[in-house]
Amino acid sequence: MRDGTVELSLGHKINIKRIKSKANGVYPSQILDILDDEIIIVSGPLHKRNIVLLNKDEIVEVSYIIEDKGKYFFRAKVLDRDNSKIYRLKLKRISDVNRVQLRRFYRLEVDVPVKKEFVIEEDGKRRIIEENCRSQNISGGGIKLYSNYEHKIGDQVLCSFFINNHQIVATGKVVRIEEVDIFYYKYGIGVKFVELNEEDRDRIISFIFHKQRELRNKGLI
């Protein structure tokens, strides 16, 4: 199954959520077959080793994770149910595939050099100030920087940094300010991205997923 850059394959782990049932739980399942771009065969969901019987024509939500990309979901209709030998369902996708946006705001603690530019006015003249900062953490929605300039809430800044040798340039707004007690810097500022190319946002999110996987493999998270 392919929808844009989103692809499901045989054996892919998924979750099935009941929408209009009183027992509206979320149950693990797996892709058994892909008939076309809309119809899939999945293993019937189980709960505590008990079969969860879904009804024909029932509407469910299917969610899954694509590594290094994020979590996706779509709605599907139960076309058929077969529980004669192996409990399985035939589902038809009835909505677009959407990405869960919450993951873009997961903040990864990472130290990268960031060039910050902002405009100040002195004696009626505008002047661009450049400062070399370091990041404390980063997400698809913003970045926290160590800085020596005493910003104000609402200040607009231009941030540029590199992710996997690719330069990211983003316009942001200062939304938090705190004094810090670390070498070389006086302030920690939270910057929310207000202008960021979506391809660059995806690069940041993929970078975060990659680092998370490395930390999990090392047993650090």
Task: Give the integer Cα–Cα distance in Å for 203 and 168.
Answer: 9
Average pLDDT over residues 139-156: 94
What pLDDT does 71 receive? 77
What does the pLDDT look like over 121-134, one tens digit per residue? 888 888 999 999 99
For the chain, domain boundaries: 2-99, 105-217
Task: Give the integer Cα–Cα distance in Å for 202 and 122.
Answer: 38
How would residue 197 be classed by pLDDT, with cut points 50, 70 and 90?
confident
| β 70-82/98-99 pair status | antiparallel
Return the H-helix or E-strand segment holding 210.
helix 198-217
| CATH 3.30.499.10 holds for 105-217 | no
Average pLDDT over residues 88-110: 82
Task: Give the integer Cα–Cα distance in Å for 43 and 29.
Answer: 5
pTM above 0.75, yes or no: no
What pLDDT does 24 receive? 63
CATH architecture, range 2-99: Roll (2.30)
Element counts in the chain: helices (H) and strands (E): 1, 18
Task: Mark residue 58 as left, alpha or beta (left: phi above 0; alpha: psi -120 to 50; beta: remaining).
Answer: beta
Task: Give the integer Cα–Cα distance in Å for 143 and 159.
Answer: 9
DSSP tag of 94: -
What pLDDT does 5 receive? 40
Question: Does the pLDDT of residue 77 top 90, yes or no?
Answer: yes
What pLDDT does 23 receive? 63
CB within 8 A of 128, min separation 6: which ones?
A: 117, 118, 119
Question: Does the pLDDT of residue 215 top 90, yes or no?
Answer: no
Q: Which residue would you say has higher pLDDT here, 177 or 69?
A: 177
Closest CA to 75 of 87, 91, 93: 93
What pLDDT does 156 receive? 95
User: Is the sign of the CA dihedral 109, 13, 64, 87 positive or negative?
Assistant: negative
